[in-house]
Amino acid sequence: MRKTTTTPLARRLAAAAVALGSCLALAGPAAPAGAAPADPVKTVFFGDSYTANFGIAPVNNQDNEKLLCFQATENYPAVATRRLADKAITLDVQADVSCGGALVEHFWREQELLGGIGTVAAQQDALKDDTQLVVGSVGGNTLGYSSILKQCSAKLRGDEGAALPGRPVDSDVPAGECREFFESGDGKAWLDYQFQRVEGDLEELLLRASYHSPDADRVLVGYPRFVPQDATKCQTAAPGQTELPFVDIPQDALPVLDQVQKRLNDVMKKAAADEGADFVDLYAQTGNNTACDGADRGIGGLLENSQLELGQAIPWYGHPNEKGRDLQAQHVAAKIEEVLNR
């Protein structure tokens, strides 16, 4: 197994570009500290279903196959843009190319849509020479988080998980044994490889963003916390629900799911730091709004009905509800404001 990583030449070119940019910045007049940009900031949003905010209706592109990206009209990029406008910071959104199911590699490769019904262009195609800000969340699908969920849930392996992409990592291992599977042997080796792949791909994404938009600030956005520190809360259904937030996933496996998400968060944070990008640590800021926090939950339970219907209701499958979307927007807007005011 091979870790995807950037070449020494690519790193030297990136370092040279950063150094040149620093020299040019020193040569020009300094902006007042803490001053919001006077002109609209040309911005591109990218990412997967957590940027698109799968599960929230209505969705964009209802007259074409891009409907299957499930990009909410009111996703966190749209809400964050309004929050910033209220502070006299105007984003000129050149594009929001977030799409449900996107892998990190779909930043530079076209993505096949759900069911093979059409494709969408590589997300980097939206970047322009004059783009000033690139923001988004991606990485969970490359890791294979839905496959991890299916490894741990017999229900998600069946018809109830049909709309959730991915297969169990090893369908011969019963769902009830998923904790042992991921903590040793083939399951642990699979996870280690997946994390190497995510880290290498995120580094490439951030380098590509700089190549296509040399003057852009890059903001990588993490994922909100899914499992609470006290996983016993997950043995109570949310108000108005009959299914538990994690349905039939064994109680002893919930800390493993949380450890996997924490490790993903750390990998994303490291990739951002290594490539000189900013990071929004949603995991650290949403511990009281997990899928198991009842009326305060910012994440819809796995089989809790979302706002979407395609002949029948589609579950949230662990995506942010409107409360969670607003938390994403709040923290993303705060980070953008910090970046633009530097």
In whole angstroms, give the CA distance from residue 316 to residue 303.
6
Q: What are the helix (H) ranges across 145-253?
A: 145-152, 154-157, 178-183, 185-212
Q: Point out the catalytic residue in the list 319, 321, 324, 331.
A: 319
Could you identify the residue written with the tokens 């018809």? Answer: 159
CA dihedral 27, 30, 31, 32 (to 10 degrees): 170
Contact 149, 175 (CB under 8 A): no
Could you identify the residue written with the tokens 């741990």? Answer: 152
In whole angstroms, give the CA distance from residue 158 to residue 164.
10
Q: Is 306 a catalytic residue?
A: no
In whole angstroms, give the CA distance from residue 246 to residue 224.
16
Residue 221 neighbours by CB under 8 Å, 6+ apart: 47, 50, 51, 135, 136, 137, 279, 280, 282, 328, 332
Half-sphere exposure of 106 (CA within 13 A, CB side): 26
Q: Is 331 a catalytic residue?
A: no
Contact 291, 297 (CB under 8 A): yes
Q: Is 49 a catalytic residue?
A: yes
Q: What are the helix (H) ranges across 153-302?
A: 154-157, 178-183, 185-212, 254-274, 282-285
Q: In the 8-state DSSP scheme, what is residue 164? A: S
Residue 290 neighbours by CB under 8 Å, 6+ apart: 224, 225, 226, 227, 228, 233, 297, 298, 299
Q: Is 141 a catalytic residue?
A: yes
9: Cα separation from own chain's centroid: 29
Q: Point out the catalytic residue in the list 60, 141, 265, 306.
A: 141
Q: Point out the catalytic residue in the list 47, 49, 161, 298.
A: 49
Could you identify the residue written with the tokens 């998923």? Answer: 178
Q: Point out the catalytic residue in the list 101, 139, 298, 301.
A: 101
Q: Helices 8-27 and 185-212 meet at what angle, rounded to 10?
A: 40
Which residues have a catalytic role annotated?
49, 101, 141, 319
